[in-house]
Amino acid sequence: MNNKVKKRLYFFLVSIITALIIGKFIFDSLKVNSVYFFSPTDLKNTTEIPNGVIRIGGMVKVESLKKKGNQYSFIVTDFKNEILVNYSGIKPNLFEEGQGAVVEGKLNTRTNFVATKILAKHDENYMPKEVADALKKTGNWKKNYGK
Amino acid sequence: MLNLFNSKNFKNFHDDYLYWIKIFFLTLVIFGLIISLFVSPADYLQGDTVRIMYVHVPASWLALQIFAVMGICGFISLIFKTRIFTLIAKSIAPIGFTFSLISLFTGSIWGQPTWGTFWTWDARLTSMLVLVIFYIIYISSWKIISKFHLAEKLTSIVSLIGLANLPIIKFSVEWWNTLHQPATIKFTESSSIHPTMLTPLLIMFIAFLSFSIIIFLIRFKLESLNLKINTKR
């Protein structure tokens, strides 16, 4: 390696290290501020109730979904804490009990949420219907899949 | 090995093998499309919407991998001043740009029936949009800057900065709460996808990869001839 290449390499290394340090700071602040959704437990732990539009994510509790016209009420849970959600409008196809969901809206009280938008969360599992049925039959369903 | 990076040998590679790669690509893409659109089963939850994945996932992978190659090429051409790496990066940039657009587009037409929205500002989607913007900056700086040496330097720096975005895209689904699901195919654990769906996905990936190689070889020849003309003038 000649001198010029060495010089450029050093310059590059120094700038990479500075960039990494700056990046670390940006990243740390992003990790706190850029929450796409809160879990019910997160909300319980906050000291003040956020009053703007927020999102809550979790599992739609089984047997909690009630429908009246296009009015829906259901419980979003993260298996530690839960929150009651009211929503009026059209629900996405994949929005079901026992599936993940993200709801957008405002908190009424600490345990009551009025949603203006529902998003169904899809997990990373892909399988044919026959396989899913077979898994349900043998009792292996939701052991490894559909966390 | 270093002989391959002699630009003349690289161009000859184009002439010798392009025909066969084209045939390879055509067979794979026809085969892959038939399997993914007709033979492979519908998903237990999404139904036929899952077939969008066979285009979406390979396109996203390639969009990321191509930018990674561009970043590495940018590094080599900045430090060691090897012109051929600049040309490699320049010729693959539009391929990656196209794939990133395909990824965003197919993602949003999948997101509408599945999530209930075309677009949302979660970490994965936003960082992917940032990648598209990096591609746009990279390609347009080649177009705007007329001096080759200056453009070479600037675009290399752009690709290096953009490199930092790649781990953010990859790990955004683990670091933050996102609407986008985590990776299905993992290197360390077993994948959470059924083999009947994994096979068409991999075939489509190899087809897209060979398509990128075809376009790369054509564009590389073009770029190196362009450079020759411009330096003579």
Token readout for A40 is: 């019910």
Q: Residue B160: inside a domain, yes or no?
A: yes
Which residues in chain B are closer than 8 Å to A93, comparing Cβ atoms?
A: 113-114
Note whether B176 and A36 are within 8 A (CB): yes
Q: Residue B5: inside a domain, yes or no?
A: no
Chain A positions with Cβ closer than 8 Å to B: 5, 8-9, 12, 19, 23, 31, 34-39, 57, 91-95, 99, 102, 117-133, 144-145
Q: Residue B3: inside a domain, yes or no?
A: no
Range of the domain at B220: 14-232
Q: At what angle do helices B123-144 and B83-114 cross, to 10 degrees?
A: 140
CATH value at residue B197:
1.20.120
What are phi and psi for residue A85, nearest 5 degrees? -120, 135
A:B CB pairs within 8 Å? 106
* Residues found in chain A: 147
Q: Please give the helix or strand (H or E) that residue B232 lies within, else none.
A: helix B195-232
Q: Residue B116: inside a domain, yes or no?
A: yes
pTM, full prediction: 0.85
Distance CA B60, CA A144 (A): 26
Q: Which residue has the higher pLDDT, A92 or B197?
A: B197
Give the tens place of pLDDT for each residue, A115-134: 888 888 887 788 888 777 77
Mutation choice for B interface testing from A124, A129, A133, A137 by most B CBs within 10 A:
A124
Q: Residue B177: inside a domain, yes or no?
A: yes
Q: Residue B141: inside a domain, yes or no?
A: yes
Q: Residue B34: inside a domain, yes or no?
A: yes
DSSP E strand stretches across B20-89: none
Give the tens place of pLDDT for each residue, B87-119: 999 999 999 999 999 999 999 999 988 888 888
Task: Evaluate the CA torsion angle B147, B149, B153, B155 in order and state its sign.
Answer: positive
Percent of chain A with pLDDT over 70: 90
Domain A40-120 has CATH 2.40.50.140: yes
Three-state DSSP state, B105: helix
Q: Residue B120: inside a domain, yes or no?
A: yes
Query: Buried b vs exposed e over B133-168: b needs ≥16 C-beta within 10 Å?
Result: ebbeebbeebeeeeeeeebbbbbbebbbebbebbeb
Distance CA A79, CA B100 (A): 37
Give me the number of domains chain B comprises: 1
Domain residues of chain A, as ranges?
A: 40-120
Token readout for A33 is: 């501020």
Q: How many CA atoms lie within 13 A of A139 on its CB side?
A: 0
Which residues in chain B are closer than 8 Å to A38, comparing Cβ atoms?
A: 177
The alpha-carbon gap from B182 to the nearest alpha carbon of chain A, in Å, equals: 6
